[in-house]
Chain A
Amino acid sequence: MLRNKIILIIIFVISIVINQALSYHNNKQIGIVSGKVLDLKNAPLPFVNVFFTDGMEGTITDENGNFKIETNHFGKRVLRVSHIGYEQKDIDIVIKKETPIVLNITLDESYVEMETVTITASSFTAADKEGQTLTSLDVVTTAGAAADIFKAIQTFPGVTQVDEGAGMFVRGGDVSETIVMLDGATLVHPYRYESDTGGYFGMINPFLLSGTYFSSGAFSAKYGNALSGILAMESLGMPDCKSIDFGMGLAAISLGTSYPIIPDKLGVRFSGNYSDTKTLFKVNGGTEKFDKFPLSWDGNLSVIYKYSNHGYLKYFNHSAQDDIGVLYESPTYSGNFISGTDNILNNVYWKQMFGKKLLTKSSLSQNRFHQDIMVGNLSLKNSDVFTKWRTDITYTVSKKFKINSGFEIDNTESTVSGSYPDDENNLHPDAASITFSNDYSAFHNGLYLECEINFSQRIFTISGLRFDYLNEINTYTIDPRFSIGYRFTDTQILKLATGRYHQYPKAQCIDAHYGNPDLLPLEAIHYVVGYELKSEITNFRAELYYKDYNELPIKDYEQNFASDGYGYSYGADLFVKGTLPLISGWMSYSYLVSERKELEHLKLVPTDYDIRHNFIAALKSRIGERNSFSLTYRYTSGKPYTAALNQWNSDRLPSIQRLDISWSYFTFFSGRNFLVLYAAVSNLLDRRNIYGYRYNPEYTERTELKSTFGRSIYFGFSISLR
Chain B
Amino acid sequence: MIRNFLVLLMLTMPIFSQTIEEYILQGKEKIESARLQWNRKGMLEARAVFERLLIKSDKDWLLNYYIAYCDYRLTNYAFGENDKKAARKYVSDGIKKLKACVNEKSDCADAYALLSSFYGNKIALNPWSGFWNGPKSGKMIEKAFSLEPNNPRTHLISGISSFYTPEKWGGGKERAKESLSKATELFYDENVEAIMPDWGHSETYGWLGLVELAMGDTNKAIINYKKALEINPDNGWVKYRLLPQIIENNE
> Chain B residues near A536 (CB, 8 Å)?
84, 126
Q: Point out the residues of chain A lying under 8 angstroms from B131, CB to CB.
A: 135, 137
Cβ of A60 and Cβ of B48 under 8 Å apart?
yes
> Is the pair B14, A19 in contact by a Cβ cutoff of 8 Å?
yes
B1–A7 CB distance below 8 A? yes
Chain B residues near A626 (CB-CB < 8 A): 168
Are B9 and A19 in contact, CB atoms less than 8 angstroms apart?
A: yes
Is the CB of B132 closer than 8 A to any CB of chain A? yes
A sample of 11 inter-chain contacts (CB < 8 A) reads: A18-B9, A19-B13, A23-B14, A47-B40, A56-B49, A56-B56, A58-B52, A113-B92, A309-B103, A579-B126, A667-B168
Picked from B93, B126, B129, B170, the residue with its CB within 8 Å of the CB of A672 is B170
Interface residues of B in 77-91 (CB under 8 A from A): 84, 89-90
How many residue pairs between the two chains, A and B, have CB atoms under 8 Å in the bound complex?
A: 94
Query: Does A51 interact with chain B (Cβ within 8 Å)?
Result: yes
Cross-interface CB contact of A19 among B12, B49, B90, B133, cutoff 8 Å: B12
Those of B107-157 within 8 Å (CB) of chain A: 122, 126, 128-129, 131-133, 138-139, 142-143
A15 touches B8 (CB 8 A): yes
At the interface, yes or no: B38 with Cβ under 8 Å from chain A? no
* Chain A 622-665 per-residue mask, 1 if CB under 8 angstroms from chain B, else 0: 00011000000000000000000000000000000000000000
16 further A-B pairs in the complex, CB-CB below 8 A; given A49-B51, A56-B56, A60-B41: A23-B14, A49-B44, A49-B47, A49-B48, A56-B23, A58-B48, A84-B71, A113-B92, A113-B93, A135-B132, A137-B132, A241-B142, A264-B106, A625-B169, A668-B168, A668-B169
| Minimum CB–CB distance for A64 against chain B, Å | 13
- Complex CA distance for A130 and B51, rounded to whole angstroms: 27
Q: Is the CB of A15 within 8 A of B142?
A: no
Cβ-closest chain A residue relative to B139: A240
Q: Decide yes or no whether A11 CB sits under 8 A from chain B.
A: yes
Min CB–CB distance B61 → chain A (angstroms): 13
- Given the complex of chains A and B, what is the CA–CA distance between A85 and B89 in angstroms? 6
- CA–CA, A8 and B11, complex, Å: 13
Closest to A310 in B: B103
- Is A60 a contact partner of B139 (Cβ separation < 8 A)? no
The distance from the CB of A91 to the nearest CB of chain B, in whole angstroms, is 15
Query: Residues 18-36 of chain B: 1 if any A CB is under 8 Å from the residue's CB, otherwise 0?
Result: 1000010000000000000
Which A residues fall within an 8 A CB radius of B? 7-8, 11-12, 14-16, 18-19, 22-23, 47, 49, 51, 53, 55-56, 58-60, 80, 82, 84-85, 112-113, 128-130, 135, 137, 240-241, 264, 309, 536, 579, 584, 625-626, 667-668, 671-672
Whether A15 pairs with B132 at a CB distance below 8 angstroms is no
Do A672 and B84 contact each other (CB < 8 Å), given the known contacts A84-B90, A135-B132, A579-B128? no
**Are the CB atoms of B132 and A56 closer together than 8 Å?**
no
Report which residue of B45, B48, B103 has the largest number of chain A beta carbons within 10 angstroms of its beta carbon. B48
List residues 163-189 of chain B with CB under 8 A from any CB of chain A.
Answer: 166, 168-170
Q: How far is the CA of A12 from the CA of B6 in the complex (A)?
A: 10
Residues in chain A near residue B1, CB distance under 8 A: 7
Tell me how far the C-beta of B67 lies from the nearest C-beta in chain A, rounded to whole angstroms.
Answer: 10
Residues of B within 8 A of A8 (CB): 4, 8
Instruction: List which B35-63 residues lie within 8 A (CB) of chain A.
Output: 40-41, 44-45, 47-49, 51-53, 55-56
Tell me, in angstroms, the Cα distance from A113 to B126 when the chains sit together.
17
Q: Which residues does chain A contribute within 8 Å of B89, judged by CB atoms?
A: 84-85, 113
Assess whether A671 is in contact with B132, with CB atoms less than 8 Å apart. Answer: no
In the complex, the chain B residue whose C-beta lies closest to that of A129 is B132
Instruction: Give Cα A80 to B129, complex, Å.
Output: 36
Q: A15-B8, A129-B132, A626-B168 are in contact. Are A60 and B44 (CB under 8 A)?
A: yes
- How many Å lie between the Cα of A668 and that of B135 in the bound state? 12
Distance between Cα atoms of A55 and B56 in the complex (Å): 8
Shortest distance between the CB of A473 and any CB in chain B (Å): 46
Contacts of A584 in B (CB 8 A): 128
Instruction: Give Cα distance in the complex from A309 to B61, angstroms.
Output: 15
Question: Which listed residue, A53, A80, A82, A625, touches B166 by the CB 8 Å rule?
Answer: A625
| Chain B residues, CB < 8 A from A49 | 44, 47-48, 51-52
Provide the residues of chain B in CB contact with A15, threshold 8 Å. 5, 8-9, 11-12
Chain B residues lying within 8 Å of A18, measured Cβ to Cβ, are: 9
Residue of B47, B55, B129, B132 near A53 (CB, 8 A) is: B55
Q: A130-B129, A668-B169 are in contact. Are A60 and B8 (CB under 8 A)?
A: no
Cβ contacts under 8 Å, B49 to chain A: 56
Contacts of B139 in A (CB 8 A): 240-241
Q: Which residue of A lies closest to B43 (CB)?
A: A47
Distance A579 CA – B8 CA, assembled complex (angstroms) = 68
A435–B45 Cα distance when bound, in Å, is 83
Q: What's the least CB distance linking A538 to chain B, in Å?
A: 12
- The chain A residue with its CB closest to the CB of B55 is A53
Contact B168 A130 (CB under 8 A): no
Minimum Cβ distance to chain A for residue B22 (Å): 10
Q: How far apart sit A56 and B56, CA to CA, in the bound complex (Å)? A: 9
CB pair A82 B51 closer than 8 Å = yes
Q: Roughly how many angstroms separate A240 CA and B115 CA in the complex, as a whole number?
A: 16
A659 to chain B, nearest CB (A): 24
- Distance A536 CA – B88 CA, assembled complex (angstroms): 11
User: Which residue of B is nearest A73, CB measured?
Assistant: B16
In the bound assembly, the distance between CA atoms of A128 and B129 in angstroms comes to 9
Instruction: Give chain B residues whose Cβ lies under 8 Å from the Cβ of A668.
Output: 168-170
B169 and A47: CB pair below 8 A? no
Q: Which residues of B contact A672 (CB under 8 A)?
A: 138, 170
B53 / chain A contacts, CB cutoff of 8 Å: 56
Contact residues in B for A51 (Cβ distance below 8 Å): 48, 51-52
A128–B14 Cα distance when bound, in Å, is 54
Taking CB atoms, residues of chain B closer than 8 Å to A84 are 71, 89-90, 93
Which residue of chain B has the shortest Cβ distance to A47 in the bound complex? B44
- State in angstroms the CA–CA spacing of A12 and B9 once bound together: 8
